[in-house]
Amino acid sequence: MLASLSIRDVVLIDRLDLDLGSGLAVLTGETGAGKSILLDALGLALGARGDSGLVRAGATQASVTAVFELAPGHAVWAVLDEQSIPVEASLTLRRVVTADGRSRAWINDRAVGVTLLRQIGDYLVEIHGQHDQHGLLDPRTHRDVLDQFGGHDALRAATAHAFREMQAADAARDRAEAEAEAVRREEDHLRTSLADLVKLKPEPGEEADLVARRQRLQNADRVVSALNAALDALNGEPGLEMRLLDADRALQRLPDADTEPRVAQLRAGLERASIEIGEGVAAIERLMADLDLGEDSLEAVEDRLYALRAAARRHQVTTEDLPELSRHLRERLDLIDGGTGGVTRLAAVATAARAAYKTAAAALSTARRGAADALVTAISAELVPLRMGRVELAVAFDPLPEGSWGPEGTERCQFMVRTNPGAPAGPLARVASGGELSRLMLALKVVLARTASAGTLVFDEVDSGIGGAVADAVGERLQRLGGHAQVLVVTHNPQVAARGDLHLRVAKRVEDGQTLTEVRALDATERREEVARMLSGAELTAEARAAADRLMSLASRDVA
């Protein structure tokens, strides 16, 4: 809701600071006192067109600051986040217009363009009256309003999901068709390349394996020669083991061979050497047995390596990419061969997705028509007490061309009105007069109050040209609407003014030869006097004060 409004040097207002609350706020005052200036100033903060005519005479600039208090999940916060504007406890909109017509705007002290300010303002305030028209008078909002009233969130989500699926399927089919056309142009080359790769049968990691095998084969002669030389050295004639045995026999012939410790140690050493030599021979023999040179010759390995590298150069890829290239060529040819990625299959998927979207959109459309009937019935009931019983409201559904289908469905919805029997129905803004339009907007907002997106509603002279029971009906509906949203109403009608939770009086004063507009919140006694003035005119009478008491008492009783 709008928490405060600060105005500086706008037309006849030199300085004004208003603190506002929830519920119904009424603005009253003599004709020409400047009530419309308040709405012009608020509109300026919301992104309306600004020009030098708004700057008070003698001032260099006009400025308006509007502070809003919003719930954490309000849609505005997401918009600000997209624009990287800091989110604070409250939302502050500020607009300045200089005497030479230049305009600047800020959101939470961040300089922004007027377009963004207007976008944010549309989320916050709806103004209905005989001058500025927003919200429901824009046909682009009618479909969303109808869906909010009908509670179509699930159906809209299903339709949006089906639309995205249809878009994705159409895009996949279109890409496949374009690719298939390209494949047909180079089909012979693709088939030849694929046949060569199928024949070659490249494997992942094969080049590295071949390089290692070639290295082993190139070293094979040196390895075998070295191992054989080692065996010859150990097993030559006479062998080392035999010579060690001869040495041990010689030591055994010593006279003290059995008693001399040193001879025993020497013989033990010879025995260990003989064992080590035997183990060395066995180890060399195992190494030769384990030497795996494979069945391929060096020539065969080098031929395979050359074939892989030649294919890689021919296709301008690495040998490691050859298996993937083979798969890719197969997929491309599948587009015209009718494989799993073929155009025919993707076209069938796209057809099914389109059918699913049309089904979802049709279900949403059916629900909209039911909601439209309920909405028209509810609004018609509200119009009777407003002396607009002959006004007929309808919701027109216009099918969209296929190229304009979207996540919201396949149709356009627009509220239409017929103000006189026999007259053609037309859009709200073009058919209804100013007073009728304001009361029609009031009836719409009363019915849509629980689903309204904007938290602040402004009605400019919604009670113009009416009185008595009709004015009381308008006041009762404004008061009821104030229970769901913040409502600001400019009124000349005491029946409406008596129902305000906050009463603001607009008046002119002359100071230092200048005419200025001031706005003041009235207390209970001042409210009674203002309502009495609205009843009786310039001269206040006891009867007028008594009538004001009755009106205010009735208003309080209706609230209770």
Please report whether residue 392 resides in a domain: no
3-state secondary structure 451-480: HCCCCEEEEECCCCCCCHHHHHHHHHHHHH
pLDDT of residue 417: 86
Is residue 451 predicted with pLDDT exceeding 70? Answer: no
Q: Residue 112 is encoded by which pair of tokens? A: 């922004």
- Rounded distance, CA 276 to CA 31, Å? 124
Instruction: List beta partners, residue 7.
Output: 16, 64
CA atoms within 13 A on the CB side of 61: 11
Please report whether residue 511 resides in a domain: no
What would the pLDDT profile of 84-133 be if each residue is shown by its tens digit?
A: 888 777 899 999 999 998 999 999 989 999 999 999 988 898 887 654 44
Q: Sheet of 392-399: strands edge to edge?
A: 392-399, 411-418, 426-427
Q: Which of 89, 120, 106, 77 is nearest to 456 (CA)?
A: 120
Instruction: List beta partners, residue 143.
Output: none
Q: Which of 512, 515, 519, 507 is nearest to 12 (CA)?
A: 515
Please report whether residue 166 resides in a domain: yes
**Average pLDDT, integer, range 159-165:** 97
Instruction: Please name the residues in contact with 506: beta carbons below 8 A apart, sequence gap of 6 or more.
Output: 27, 28, 29, 33, 34, 35, 38, 517, 518, 519
Q: Which of 267-281, 349-363, 428-442, 446-460 has the lowest mean pLDDT?
A: 428-442
Instruction: List beta partners, residue 126.
Output: 457
Please report whether residue 216 resides in a domain: yes
- Rounded distance, CA 393 to CA 398, Å? 16
**What are the φ/ψ torsions at residue 15 (nearest 5 degrees)?**
-155, 125
What would the pLDDT profile of 409-418 be if each residue is shown by its tens digit?
A: 999 999 988 8
What would the pLDDT profile of 283-320 be if each residue is shown by its tens digit?
A: 877 877 766 555 567 788 888 889 899 988 988 889 99
Please report whether residue 220 resides in a domain: yes
- Rounded distance, CA 222 to CA 228, Å? 10
Please report whether residue 290 resides in a domain: yes
Instruction: State which residues form the domain around 328.
Output: 156-360
Number of domains in the chain: 1
**Average pLDDT, integer, range 436-465:** 74
Alpha-carbon Rg for the chain in angstroms: 47
Question: 3-class SS at 85?
Answer: coil
| DSSP 8-state assignment for residue 406 | B
Please report whether residue 131 resides in a domain: no
Please tell me whether the overall predicted TM-score, pTM, comes out greater than 0.75 for this model. Answer: no
The answer, yes or no, to whether the previous bond of 238 is cis (omega within 30 of 0) is yes
Q: Which of 298-312, 439-453, 492-506, 524-538 has the lowest mean pLDDT?
A: 439-453
pLDDT of residue 133: 46
